[in-house]
A and B are shown apart, each in its own frame.
Chain A
Amino acid sequence: MVCRKGVESIDILLTLLYLFIFPGFIFLFAFSLFTEYLDRKIYARMQRRVGPPFLQPFADLVKLSAKEDVVPENAERFMFTAAPIIGLAAIFAAFLYLPIVSSTGLHSFNGDLIVVLYLLTIPTLAMFLGGWYSGNVFGQKGGMRVASLLFSYEIPFFLTLLTPALIEGSWKMADIVTFEITHPLVFIISFLGFVIGLIALQGKLERLPFDIPEAETEIVAGPLVEYSGRRLALFRLARDAEMVVGAGLLAVVFLAGPEPIVHLEPVYLSWIVGALVFLAKTLFVIFLLILIKSAVARIRTDQMISFAYKWLIPLTLVQIFIAIIVRFLGGI
């Protein structure tokens, strides 16, 4: 009995470690800031600039947190404050379901892929609400743009992430990951889906060429126009964390996440290797996102919607059709 108690307490300790330190909140926090640094640095190098120093995102965060707390007169105080917190909380929750150290995450169940997809939609909604309740015309305009562009990238993003699930026949990310590593042909079949997912993720993160909601030259800063101080810091952190989680999701679903797992004797060692593989794949996806950002300019709202409906969604349907045929022919 005593022995059992000891084992349980160790499990609780490990779970807490997973939740809060690695790969939980603190790690995600640090990795998001590092991603922002990478984003700005590579972007700068591609423009033949030197770029910001390493601790720049951290300095921005600290500075914003120490600034005066302003709530505009026209803003609705509760929603104005709640919006960034809701967005950040949804992202952090989504991160816990990703399989990072091994093929099962903290808690793996049938349908966790769909849960992560829905959790990743919430920050967009928070952005819209924050802009809408800030009581500024530019904020409301930006909020409307966020909401109206939602459908143009969300449909291809959802559909394309479901193709590996269709090939495999399970909504569980752990199953998808292990299936992909035993059947490498899936990578070739779902390559088109990966490209579509990359473009749709760029739209989801509101980065170039889809930064229409924020369009600095048109509507100042879009939904964030009235945000200052720590609320703005939370929104920026949520944006960076969303980039990490979105890229991580693509890496899990299309690039087999932490696999191939090397089984080493103390189980901790194989977890560390798994996490390193996962990080390498995530950084690869993030690098592709930065390449897209530095290569293109902003497009108009109507151009984005017609691009999504004329190209992205038909191509996604082609990808799904391929997946169904593969399944019909008896799998791979």
Chain B
Amino acid sequence: MFKGLVKWARIKSPWILHMNCGSCNGCDIEILAALIPRLDAERFGVLLKGSPRHADVLVCTGPVTKQMKERLKRVYDQMPEPKFVVVVGQCGSSGGIYQGAYGVEGGIDKVIPVNAYIPGCPPRPDAIADGLIKLLASIAKGGNP
């Protein structure tokens, strides 16, 4: 019963941390648009937090540049368990058009484990909200997606 309660709480209160790992800023603007009053992410308990220590879901954008690789790892390590990673955009998923560029490491999943991908260049705000809710649904089913 206690386990069920904790699981319910985890699904009901995902606090997100937004991180730009070298994106062109297109996806970041769309993430902010997903948090506006019109879509109202707080309905699902989503809060945007500034500190990695408070966050449950790391929302990353962009291809990981070589500069950003260590920082991304460190921010990921600073988050307390259990933690989830959502990648927004084509570049974050695979490297996108920056694949093979000399300063670019590749997609986010080359550096840290990823739970959900939201494709698009950039994805629509409602697609981002939908991706997050699908992640929550997969947590509800149990196991990692």
Contacts and interface: CB of A to CB of B under 8 A. Distances in A.
A62 B42 contact: no
Contacts of B43: 49-53
B80 A70 contact: yes
A216 B47 CA distance: 13
Given A67-B82, A225-B51, A225-B53, A59 B40 contact: no
A299 interface: no
A66 B82 CA distance: 9
Contact of A70 (B12, B45, B53, B56): B53
Interface in A59-82: 59-63, 66-70
Interface stretch (B3-11, B62-70, B115-123): B3-11
B54 A44 contact: no
A50 B45 contact: no
Given A47-B37, A66-B10, A52 B45 contact: yes
A interface majority secondary structure: loop
A293 interface: no
A189 interface: no
A216 B50 contact: yes
Interface in A223-254: 224-229, 232
A51 to B, nearest CB: 6
A70 B81 CA distance: 9
Given A59-B8, A221-B50, A221-B51, A52 B80 contact: no
B1 to A, nearest CB: 12
Contacts of B40: 44, 49-51
B53 A228 contact: yes
Interface string B115-137: 00000000000000000000000
B13 interface: yes
B49 interface: yes
A49 B41 CA distance: 9
Nearest to A63: B9
A63 B13 contact: yes
- Max chain A CB contacts within 10 Å: which of B8, B12, B51, B80? B51
Contacts of B37: 47-49
Contacts of A55: 12
Contact of A62 (B6, B51, B56, B81): B6
A232 B42 contact: no
A37 to B, nearest CB: 12
Contact of B9 (A44, A48, A52, A59): A59
Contacts of B9: 58-63, 66
Interface in B1-42: 5-6, 8-10, 12-13, 37, 40, 42
Given A67-B82, A68-B81, A53 B45 contact: yes
Nearest to A229: B80
Interface of A: 40, 44, 47-53, 55-56, 58-63, 66-70, 216, 220-221, 224-229, 232
Top 5 nearest A-B pairs (CB, nearest first) are: A62-B9, A68-B80, A59-B12, A228-B53, A68-B81
